[in-house]
Amino acid sequence: MKFKKILGIDIGGSGIKGAPVNTKTGKFLEKRYRIETPNPATPDAVASVIKKMTGHFKWKGPVGCGFPAVVLNGVVKTASNIDKSWIGTDACELFTNTVGLPVMVINDADAAGLADVRFGAGKGVKGSILMLTIGTGIGSAFFTQGRLLPNTELGHLILNGKNAEKYASDATRKKEKLSWEDWGSRLNEYLLEMERLFYPELIIIGGGMSKKMDKFAHLLTVKTRVAPASLLNDAGIIGAAMAIRAHKAEVLKKFEKT
């Protein structure tokens, strides 16, 4: 089985998006496809969407998925913004069995970071890069010299006595009907804390917010360079595909066992 063309899938709170990706170039090979996230998004319900996705592309090769939680060796460990029944589920095994193809599952922000560091805003940056995906939650991916430190959960840092993602996510901006000024200054507080703790060379803002930087960039006072993810919302799909390529041997071993 070849691992150059991989179906990348980004599992999100409102939509599950996928496209076949050329992992050497980071480009989509076909137009991306979106399916509404089922409600409730239980393991079986999501697995049947993954099946629909592979069916849509008539896919016969490997599949990489980005998932909005901590994922250790394919097993989901947390569930801040997803159905609690995911905790302890081997997502990798579940999807592999459902679609009958080799599947790898990693954290969604790690996936987005892999893509933007290699092909996007972080290309060529040698020092540390912090990618933050801002949407329903706040996801983080930390890189140094192009290498990922997986499963960092910096969106859950306590800021002003609150979980940072409850204070500065896009979902909170909408829920509390915050103006861009108010939300932007909350984000700024969060970024100042990130800067104080990590001193990265670059902070990349990913997720839906990567398209709205013009609304809040002027409110940021961090000294660190802040750039929008240049792959925008596609980073999650591209990075999920890239992850499986890097773990080819391990993925095939698991697949052969099923």
User: What is the contact surface with ligand BGC in residues (CB under 6 A)?
Assistant: 68-70, 78, 80-81, 107-109, 133, 137, 139, 153, 155, 165
Please give the single-letter amino acid code of residue 74. G
Report the C-alpha gap between 251 and 5 in whole angstroms. 15
The helix/strand/coil state of 50 is helix
The helix/strand/coil state of 134 is strand
Q: Kindly state the smallest distance separating residue 100's Cβ from ligand BGC, in Å.
A: 27
**ω into residue 62 within 30 of 0, thus cis?**
no
Report the C-alpha gap between 94 and 117 in whole angstroms. 29
Q: Which is nearer to ligand BGC, 171 or 222 (CB)?
A: 171
Report the C-alpha gap between 37 and 42 in whole angstroms. 10
Report the C-alpha gap between 227 and 30 in whole angstroms. 27
Q: Which is nearer to ligand BGC, 1 or 158 (CB)?
A: 158
Q: Which is nearer to ligand BGC, 47 or 106 (CB)?
A: 106
Q: Kindly state the smallest distance separating residue 207's Cβ from ligand BGC, in Å.
A: 7
Q: Which is nearer to ligand BGC, 166 or 247 (CB)?
A: 166
Q: Kindly state the smallest distance separating residue 184's Cβ from ligand BGC, in Å.
A: 20
Q: Which is nearer to ligand BGC, 54 or 80 (CB)?
A: 80
Q: Kindly state the smallest distance separating residue 53's Cβ from ligand BGC, in Å.
A: 18
Q: Kindly state the smallest distance separating residue 81's Cβ from ligand BGC, in Å.
A: 5
Closest CA to 20 of 247, 237, 252: 237
The helix/strand/coil state of 185 is helix
